[in-house]
């Protein structure tokens, strides 16, 4: 567990919540899931209830930064016991029919879940209200809002840490410890909530009754997987920019071809209609980082699958000379325009194409840095007659006399 950040003031909490782009989507989702017309994120302290973000289709009249009398709210009680509260028909409820909050604000339906920040500290609540009764599955509603509250908390923690990292960067841009802190912000604090969201999506899928709901859940899982890959690419970019290169774990071995053939087989399994053929062989030793060389090969093969002619095979060729070995991945299809070739290995560069794939444009940049880390190069040739060919060249292991 990382050290908890200093709790935000009420005003800073309102500003922080307002800066989170995910908040409007969360409030909209809360209203859709519950069927209620008012949703809010509230900062709740021992003496204040303050709205940080509001979606109001009920004309309740509360704006971000606005306060309610603390002891007039149920959230004050939630701050004490840290338990969610839900009811769909207050006037018929055995407890809340006599409670002062529904009477003061004219509420019939209500749900509120606590938002707990890093270290289990109570931030406030995610709540929804309506003056009309609602008939809903309380267990499903609470599970959904609890997941939304955890998502808000994780983004809030990331916001806090990003601000802290930016402040530190201005003071000590070249400090080695600062580099590790920055990577920790991206690696831990962003990956952890994504993993939690992926797990939640995987658990929710079998619970969905309709095919449309299951399809939406599967789409959510796929999107979260893409986000995880994008984060990994960004982390690699940061490593190159801060350290000047990727850190590689080079091991000497003659089994490079076996590793690359394994990657080709994995891509075949993921794309059953795609043909991948290999030619040539490598029988000399090469020092390489197993994980990174797999990453490079997968990037080249997936690009060939995405942009090549699906009726023609992708050809992986192995060759060796006295100085080194070459591995090429070639595909038929429309060539890459010549004016794009000099920029193809630049970060964030994505040529315009009707078949362009989503992403940040970091894959080929990282692949070229992996090649450079092996003491080699990655180049591209593309023309109408021969298609597109990416070629990796790395030095072979020198054997002492």
Question: Hey, what domains does the chain have and what are their CATH numbers?
Answer: 1-137 (3.30.450.40), 251-395 (3.30.565.10)
pLDDT tops 70 at residue 358: no
If one compares 278 and 179, the residue with the highest pLDDT of the two is 278
62: number of Cβ within 10 Å: 16
> Phi and psi of 327, rounded to 5°?
-125, 125
pLDDT computed for residue 47 by the predictor = 93
Report the helix count and the strand count for the chain, using DSSP H and E: 10, 13
| Per-residue H/E/C for 283-349 | CCCEEECHHHHHHHHHHHHHHHHHHCCCCCCEEEEEEECCCEEEEEEEECCCCCCHHHHHHCCCCCC
- Residue-wise pLDDT tens digits, 245-289: 787 888 876 688 999 999 999 999 888 899 999 999 888 778 898
pLDDT tops 70 at residue 322: yes
User: Tokens 């200093």 appear where?
Assistant: 6
pLDDT tops 70 at residue 366: yes
Nearest to residue 72, comparing CAs of 38, 107, 41, 39? 107
pLDDT computed for residue 188 by the predictor = 59
Three-state DSSP at 178 gives: helix
Tokens (6 digits) for 145: 């809002």
Q: How confident is the model at residue 120 (pLDDT cuts 50, 70, 90)?
A: confident
| Calpha distance 333→353 (Å, rounded) | 13
The answer to which of 99-113, 236-250, 382-396 has the lowest mean pLDDT is 236-250
- Residue-wise pLDDT tens digits, 230-255: 777 777 777 777 667 787 888 876 68
Tokens (6 digits) for 252: 């000497």
pLDDT computed for residue 209 by the predictor = 74
pLDDT computed for residue 213 by the predictor = 77
Q: How confident is the model at residue 175 (pLDDT cuts 50, 70, 90)?
A: low
- Mean per-residue pLDDT of the chain: 85
pLDDT computed for residue 132 by the predictor = 97
| Calpha distance 107→29 (Å, rounded) | 20
Q: How confident is the model at residue 360 (pLDDT cuts 50, 70, 90)?
A: low
pLDDT computed for residue 359 by the predictor = 65
pLDDT computed for residue 178 by the predictor = 55
Q: How confident is the model at residue 217 (pLDDT cuts 50, 70, 90)?
A: confident
pLDDT computed for residue 235 by the predictor = 74
Quick one: angle between helices 22-34 and 138-171, nearest 10? 170
pLDDT computed for residue 152 by the predictor = 93
Q: What is the pTM of this model?
A: 0.49
> In terms of C-beta distances under 8 Å and separation of at least 24 residues, what long-range contacts does 300-305 make, across chains too?
300/329, 300/367, 300/390, 300/392, 301/263, 301/264, 301/267, 301/276, 301/329, 302/267, 303/363, 303/364, 303/390, 304/329, 304/330, 304/331, 304/388, 305/267, 305/271, 305/274
């Amino acid at each position: 567990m990382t050290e908890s950040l200093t709790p935000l003031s009420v005003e800073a909490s309102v500003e922080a919540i307002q800066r989170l782009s995910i908040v409007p989507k969360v409030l909209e989702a809360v209203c859709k899931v519950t069927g209620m017309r008012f949703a809010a994120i509230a900062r709740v302290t021992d003496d204040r209830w303050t709205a940080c973000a509001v979606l109001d289709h009920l004309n309740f009249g509360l704006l971000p930064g606005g306060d309610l009398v603390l002891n007039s709210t149920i959230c004050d009680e939630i701050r004490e016991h840290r338990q969610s509260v839900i009811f769909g028909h207050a006037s018929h409820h055995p407890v809340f029919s006599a409670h002062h909050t529904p009477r003061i604000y004219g509420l019939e339906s209500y749900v509120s879940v606590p938002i707990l920040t890093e270290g289990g500290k109570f931030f406030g609540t995610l709540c929804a209200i309506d003056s009309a009764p609602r008939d809903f599955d309380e267990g499903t509603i609470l599970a959904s809002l609890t997941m939304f509250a955890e998502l808000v908390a994780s983004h809030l923690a990331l916001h806090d840490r990003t601000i802290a990292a930016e402040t530190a960067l201005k003071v000590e841009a070249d400090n080695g410890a600062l580099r590790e802190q920055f990577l920790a912000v991206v690696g831990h604090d962003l990956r952890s909530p994504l993993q939690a969201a992926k797990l939640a999506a995987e658990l929710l899928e079998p619970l969905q009754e309709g095919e449309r709901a299951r399809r939406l859940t599967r789409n959510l899982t796929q999107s979260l997987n893409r986000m995880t890959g994008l984060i990994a690419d960004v982390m690699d970019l940061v490593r190159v920019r801060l350290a000047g290169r990727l850190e590689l774990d080079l091991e000497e071995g003659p089994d490079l071809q076996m590793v690359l053939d394994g990657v080709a087989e994995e891509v075949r399994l993921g794309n059953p209609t795609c043909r991948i053929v290999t030619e040539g062989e490598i029988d000399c030793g090469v020092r390489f980082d197993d994980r990174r060389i797999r990453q490079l090969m997968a990037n080249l093969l997936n690009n060939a699958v995405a942009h090549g002619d699906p009726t023609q095979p992708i050809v992986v060729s192995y060759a060796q000379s006295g100085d080194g070995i070459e591995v090429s991945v070639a595909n038929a299809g429309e060539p890459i325009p010549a004016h794009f070739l000099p920029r193809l290995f630049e970060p964030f560069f994505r040529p315009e194409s009707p078949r362009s794939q989503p992403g940040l444009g970091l894959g080929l940049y990282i692949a070229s840095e992996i090649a450079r880390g092996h003491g080699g190069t990655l180049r591209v040739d593309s023309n109408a007659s021969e298609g597109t060919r990416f070629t990796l060249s790395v030095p072979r292991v020198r054997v002492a006399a």
